[in-house]
C-alpha cells in the first residue's frame, strides 16, 4: 500500500478529500473443500460476534453456495431484471436530458449497479472507482467482501487483522452498498445447497449400486486362480451385453427390484430448488413448471413487487450516494437533476395525451417533442391562401 498504509494500520482520518486510495489486500487462500452444516454454523458465529465480527468464513460459504446452478440462475435473474432497465438523468419535472444521460451510458455504471444489487445476496458491496487523470471514471471493481467489516466501516488488509482502512474517509473512491441488511439472503440459501449436494452424492452412489444389474459368476471350483481369471473377465466385460466364459462358469444377472428409490433424492433436490426460488423471487412458477394461468399471474405479481422494491432501493442509492460523488468529481449534473428509469409509454397513447393538452390551450415546446418522439422538428412558414380567379 502507498501513503494510505498508516490509515490501514491505525485508522488514521485523512483530511484531504481529493486524495486517492490504492488497496493492497493480502489474498486469502480459498479452500476448495466442500462446506458442511458445521462450517455454516461456525461462519455465522464469527459473522455475528459482537466484539470481533469476521466476514471471510461467511463469504466463503456464500461462494460455495453459488456453485449451485439453480441458485445462480435465480439470483442472476433478480439482478438482471433491475440492471437491464434504461437509466436516464431527469430534471425536477421528470423530463429526460438525453445529453447528460450519456454520462451514465457507460460500462462502469452498469457494473456499479450489478455490484450494488449483489449486496441483496452477499449482504454488502464496497465499490472501488478507478479514475483517469481528468477524474473521469473508467472502471469500477468490487472489493473482496471477506476483507470488509461493515459493522466497523473498515477494509482490512489481511482477513485476521484487527485494524483497517476507514472506507468512509474516501467518498470519491469507495462507495458502500447494502440494499437491505449486511448479512444477505445467501445465509438462508447456504445450508439448503449443502443438503442438496448431499442428495446428489447419495443419488450417485445409488446409481452405482442399483443402477446397473449385478453380475454373479457361479463356479464349480474353489481354485483361487480360476476365481481371479473369471473376475478379470467380468471386469473386462464392462457395459458390454455379452461375454465368453468357460462351460463350468454359470453367469447370473440380478437386477435391482427397487426402481423408484431415486425419488427420495430427486424430491429433496426439487424441494431445495423450490425453497431457493421462493427465497429469492418470492415464488416458483417463473423459474419452474407452473400450472394454471391464474396462478402464474399471481406468482408474476409477487415477483413484480420484489422487482419494484429492488428498483426503488437502488435508485435511492444512486441518487443518495453515487450521484453526489459524480458531482464532486466534476460531472455536469446539477442539484435539481437525478437518475431515474426511463418511462416508456405507448407512442399512440402519448400522442392522444399531447393532443388533449393542446386542445386545452397549451403549446408543446419543440425540445419536448424532439425528446419524446425522437424526431427533429423544423418550423415551416404558413402558406398564403391561393386567391381564386374571378
Residue 351 falls within a domain, yes or no? Answer: no
Instruction: Write the CB contacts of 177 (distance below 8 Å, at least 6 apart in sequence).
Output: 115, 116, 119, 124, 125, 126, 127, 317, 321
> What is the grid cell recorded at 22?
490504492
Both 223 and 265 in one domain: the answer is: no
- Between the alpha carbon of residue 65 and those of residues 23, 39, 122, 192, 200, the distances in Å are 27, 12, 11, 9, 14
Would you write out the chain's pLDDT as a tens digit for each of its 390 residues?
Answer: 444 444 444 443 333 344 466 667 776 666 666 788 999 999 999 999 999 999 999 999 999 999 999 999 999 999 999 999 999 999 888 888 888 999 999 999 999 999 999 999 999 999 999 999 888 999 999 999 999 999 999 999 888 888 899 999 999 999 999 999 999 999 999 999 999 998 888 777 776 666 666 666 667 667 778 777 777 767 776 655 555 566 566 666 666 565 566 688 888 888 898 999 999 888 776 665 555 556 667 777 888 899 999 999 999 999 999 999 999 999 999 999 999 998 766 677 778 888 888 888 888 888 777 767 767 777 776 666 666 655
Rounded to whole angstroms, how far apart are CA atoms 369 and 219? 93
Rounded to whole angstroms, how far apart are CA atoms 172 and 327? 10
Q: Which of 201, 227, 254 is the last residue of a domain?
A: 254
Q: Tell me which residue has cell 426503488.
A: 312
Residue 354 falls within a domain, yes or no? Answer: no
pTM of the model: 0.74
Residue 371 falls within a domain, yes or no? Answer: no
Position 3 scores a pLDDT of 41
Rounded to whole angstroms, how far apart are CA atoms 25 and 8? 10
Separation of first and last alpha carbons in the chain: 95
Residue 369 falls within a domain, yes or no? Answer: no
> What is the grid cell recorded at 170?
474516501
Position 13 scores a pLDDT of 38
Positive or negative, the CA dihedral 67, 68, 73, 79 is negative
C-alpha 33, offset from chain centre? 23
3-state secondary structure of 142: strand
Residue-by-residue DSSP string for 126-171:
EEEEEE-TTS-EEEEEEPPGGGEETTTTEE-SSTT-S--EEGGG-T
Both 240 and 307 in one domain: the answer is: no
Both 228 and 325 in one domain: the answer is: no
> What is the grid cell recorded at 173?
473512491
Neighbours of 73 (CB within 10 A): 15
- Between the alpha carbon of residue 305 and those of residues 36, 152, 204, the distances in Å are 34, 33, 39
Both 129 and 222 in one domain: the answer is: no
Residues facing residue 251 across a β-bridge: 217
Both 148 and 65 in one domain: the answer is: yes
Instruction: Write the CB contacts of 155 (distance below 8 Å, at least 6 apart in sequence).
Output: 8, 23, 25, 126, 143, 147, 148, 149, 164, 165, 167, 174
Rg (CA), the chain: 32
Residue 242 falls within a domain, yes or no? Answer: yes
Position 296 scores a pLDDT of 64
* Residue 223, domain extent: 214-254
Backbone angles phi, psi at 137, to 5 degrees: -70, 130
Residue 360 falls within a domain, yes or no? Answer: no
Residue 273 falls within a domain, yes or no? Answer: yes
Q: Tell me which residue has cell 474353489.
A: 222
Position 252 scores a pLDDT of 63
Torsion of CA 60, 61, 63, 64, to 10 degrees: 120
Both 200 and 264 in one domain: the answer is: yes
Both 33 and 75 in one domain: the answer is: yes
Q: Which of 346, 365, 381 is the last residue of a domain?
A: 346
Q: Give the ranges where 282-362 is alpha helix by DSSP (H).
A: 293-317, 323-328, 347-359
Domain count, the chain: 2
Rounded to whole angstroms, how far apart are CA atoms 119 and 183? 9
Both 249 and 293 in one domain: the answer is: no
Residue 387 falls within a domain, yes or no? Answer: no
> What is the grid cell recorded at 237?
466385460
Both 128 and 247 in one domain: the answer is: no
Both 238 and 115 in one domain: the answer is: no
Both 128 and 224 in one domain: the answer is: no
Q: Which of 223, 254, 285 is the last residue of a domain?
A: 254
Neighbours of 51 (CB within 10 A): 4
User: Which secondary-structure segment (H or E) carries 192?
Assistant: helix 186-206
In this structure, are residues 277 and 290 in contact, taking their beta carbons and an 8 Å threshold? Answer: no
Both 175 and 305 in one domain: the answer is: yes
Nearest partner of 52 among 132, 127, 163, judged by Cα = 163
Instruction: Write the CB contacts of 239 (distance below 8 Å, at least 6 apart in sequence).
Output: 212
Amino acid at each position: 500500500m502507498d501513503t494510505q498504509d498508516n490509515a490501514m494500520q491505525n485508522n488514521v482520518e485523512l483530511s484531504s478529500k481529493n486524495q486517492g486510495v490504492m488497496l493492497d489486500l493480502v489474498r486469502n487462500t480459498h479452500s476448495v473443500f466442500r462446506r458442511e452444516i458445521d462450517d455454516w454454523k461456525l461462519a455465522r458465529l464469527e459473522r455475528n460476534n459482537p466484539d470481533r465480527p469476521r466476514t471471510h468464513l461467511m463469504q466463503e460459504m456464500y461462494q460455495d453456495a453459488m456453485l449451485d446452478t439453480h441458485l445462480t440462475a435465480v439470483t442472476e435473474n433478480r439482478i438482471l431484471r433491475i440492471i437491464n432497465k434504461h437509466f436516464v438523468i431527469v430534471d425536477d419535472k421528470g423530463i429526460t436530458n438525453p445529453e447528460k444521460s450519456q454520462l451514465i451510458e457507460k460500462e462502469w455504471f452498469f457494473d456499479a449497479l450489478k455490484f450494488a444489487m449483489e449486496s441483496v445476496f452477499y449482504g454488502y458491496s464496497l465499490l472501488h472507482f478507478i479514475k483517469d487523470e481528468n477524474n473521469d471514471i473508467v472502471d469500477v471493481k468490487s472489493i473482496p467482501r471477506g476483507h470488509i467489516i461493515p459493522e466497523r466501516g473498515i477494509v482490512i488488509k489481511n482477513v485476521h487483522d484487527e485494524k483497517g482502512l476507514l472506507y468512509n474517509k474516501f467518498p470519491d473512491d469507495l462507495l458502500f452498498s447494502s440494499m437491505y441488511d449486511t448479512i444477505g439472503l445467501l445465509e438462508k440459501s447456504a445450508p439448503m445447497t449443502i443438503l442438496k449436494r448431499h442428495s446428489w452424492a447419495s443419488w450417485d452412489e445409488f446409481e452405482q449400486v442399483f443402477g446397473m444389474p449385478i453380475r454373479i459368476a457361479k463356479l464349480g471350483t474353489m481354485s483361487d486362480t480360476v476365481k481371479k481369471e473369471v473376475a478379470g473377465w467380468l471386469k473386462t466385460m464392462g457395459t458390454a451385453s455379452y461375454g465368453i466364459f468357460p462351460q463350468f462358469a454359470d453367469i447370473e444377472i440380478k437386477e435391482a427390484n427397487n426402481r423408484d428409490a431415486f425419488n427420495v433424492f430427486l424430491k429433496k433436490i426439487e424441494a431445495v430448488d423450490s425453497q431457493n426460488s421462493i427465497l429469492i423471487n418470492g415464488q416458483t412458477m417463473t423459474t419452474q413448471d407452473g400450472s394454471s394461468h391464474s396462478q402464474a399471474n399471481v406468482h408474476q405479481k409477487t415477483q413484480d413487487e420484489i422487482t419494484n422494491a429492488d428498483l426503488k432501493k437502488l435508485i435511492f442509492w444512486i441518487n443518495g450516494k453515487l450521484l453526489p460523488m459524480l458531482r464532486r468529481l466534476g460531472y455536469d449534473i446539477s442539484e435539481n437533476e437525478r437518475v431515474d428509469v426511463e418511462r416508456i409509454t405507448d407512442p399512440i397513447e402519448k400522442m392522444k395525451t399531447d393532443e388533449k393538452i393542446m386542445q386545452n390551450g397549451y403549446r408543446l415546446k419543440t425540445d419536448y417533442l424532439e425528446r419524446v418522439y425522437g424526431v427533429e422538428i423544423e418550423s415551416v412558414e404558413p402558406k398564403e391562401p391561393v386567391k381564386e380567379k374571378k
